[in-house]
């Protein structure tokens, strides 16, 4: 079957070398292929685009070995193909926020938070219910507000792998935070070198050993500003309705994933762009 969209990180992974792997799960809406630690998400049309995603007509696949190369991923007897020279690509990196958009995004942060939980910008409530989660969120708030990589490392230690499912809620919060800092930090005066050190502390090299392969893949991509498509709409300053559409999409995504992303986007924007007294 033909791929309809291929995220550029997938193209980059396959251009680097041919890969073999295994299926880590498949449903009617998504299938996850682990290529030696880089997880490719095969997603059905209508599912939010993922930064490691390939949109295909169907995702219900039989188990079997995975073999991947430029323009082709084979799962057992099924092959997903695309034109390797002219792929149907999508770049999941957020556009860099311009200084002129800061005021709009300050207001956007408040609007997203209000829509989520009556004005509270706190990330998803499931984390707050545990001591480890609440501690991690406190470290994360301080890390963004002070731009301190030591606090970012403490947040990562507490939140990475926290929660259930293929992408634990703690990882969802970290991924959204990392992507927003990567894209919007410059407009907030967070210098490129300092930001790179901060992001490296938030998503350290040992991340893959502390959470699921899918979550680790998404965290590594988020540290480069690459993130699920609805987040792009949350930061869209050109169309007033776009963020509302993105928020609605996130609200329907997963049991906690979408809300965690949306709340973390709101809180990160608010902390980055806080006005000095």
Q: Which of 90, 121, 155 is the last residue of a domain?
A: 90
pLDDT of residue 61: 79
Q: Is residue 170 part of a domain?
A: yes
Q: Are residues 70 and 125 in the same domain?
A: no
Same-domain check for residues 114 and 238: yes
Say whether 20 sits in a helix, a strand or coil: strand
Q: How many domains does the chain have?
A: 2
Q: Are residues 135 and 218 in the same domain?
A: yes
Same domain flag for 15 and 59: yes
Report the C-alpha gap between 110 and 149 in whole angstroms: 26
| 114-141 pLDDT per residue, tens | 998 754 444 455 676 789 999 999 999 9
Residue 30 lies in a domain: yes
**Domain assignment present for 267:** yes
What's the pLDDT tens digit per position in 70-109? 999 999 889 999 999 999 999 999 999 999 999 999 999 9
Residues 63 and 105 in one domain: no
**Same-domain pairing of 53 and 74:** yes
Based on the fold, state whether residues 155 and 206 are members of the same structural domain. yes
Residue 277 lies in a domain: no
Domain end position, chosen among 90, 125, 143? 90
59 and 133 in a single domain? The answer is: no
Beta-bridge partners for 7: 90
Same structural domain, 128 and 69: no
Separation in Å, CA 55 to CA 45, 141, 251: 6, 35, 21
Domain match, 67 and 113 both:
no
Pairing type for strands 5-7 and 89-90 reads parallel
Is residue 239 in some structural domain? yes
| Final residue belonging to a domain, choices 61, 90, 119 | 90
| pLDDT score recorded for residue 68 | 97
Residue 74, judged by CB atoms within 10 A of its CB (0-12, 13-18, 19+), counts as middle
- The predicted pLDDT at position 126 comes to 67
59 and 115 belong to one structural domain: no
- Whether 180 maps to a domain, the answer reads yes
DSSP code of residue 93? B
Spans of the chain, pLDDT less than 50 = 119-123, 277
pTM, entire model: 0.94
Q: Residues with Cβ < 8 Å from 217, sequence gap 6 or more? A: 37, 38, 39, 52
Contact status, residue 184 vs residue 192, Cβ threshold 8 Å: no
Joined together, the tokens standing for residue 98 give 């311009």
Helix (H, G, I), strand (E, B) or coil at 201: helix
Q: Is residue 199 part of a domain?
A: yes
* pLDDT score at 277: 39
Q: Is residue 217 part of a domain?
A: yes
Full residue range of the structural domain in which residue 64 is found:
5-90
Based on the domain organization, do 111 and 226 belong to the same domain?
A: yes
Half-sphere exposure of 36 (CA within 13 A, CB side): 9
């Amino acid at each position: 079957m033909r791929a309809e969209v291929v995220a550029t990180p997938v193209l980059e992974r396959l251009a680097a070398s041919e890969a073999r792997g295994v299926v880590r799960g498949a449903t009617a809406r998504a299938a996850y292929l682990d290529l030696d630690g880089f997880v490719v998400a095969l997603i059905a049309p209508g599912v939010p685009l993922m930064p490691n995603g390939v949109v295909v007509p169907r995702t219900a696949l039989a188990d079997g070995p995975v073999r991947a190369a430029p323009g082709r991923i084979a799962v057992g007897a099924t092959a997903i193909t695309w034109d390797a020279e002219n792929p149907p690509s999508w770049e999941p990196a957020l556009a860099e926020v311009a200084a002129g958009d800061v005021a709009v995004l300050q207001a956007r942060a408040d609007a997203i938070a209000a829509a989520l939980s009556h004005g509270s910008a706190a990330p998803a409530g499931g984390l707050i219910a545990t001591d480890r989660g609440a501690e991690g969120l406190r470290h994360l708030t301080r890390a963004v507000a002070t731009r301190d990589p030591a606090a970012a490392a403490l947040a990562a230690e507490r939140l990475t792998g926290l929660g259930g499912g293929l992408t634990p809620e703690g990882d969802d919060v970290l991924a959204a935070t990392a992507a927003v800092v990567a894209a919007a930090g410059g407009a907030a005066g967070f210098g490129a070198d300092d930001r790179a050190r901060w992001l490296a502390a938030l998503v350290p090299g040992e991340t893959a050993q502390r959470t699921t392969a899918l979550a680790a893949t998404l965290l590594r991509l988020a540290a480069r500003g690459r993130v699920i498509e609805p987040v792009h709409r949350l930061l869209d300053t050109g169309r007033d309705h776009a963020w509302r559409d993105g928020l609605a999409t996130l609200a329907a995504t997963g049991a906690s994933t979408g809300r965690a992303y949306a709340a973390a986007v709101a809180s990160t924007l608010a902390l980055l762009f806080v006005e000095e007294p």
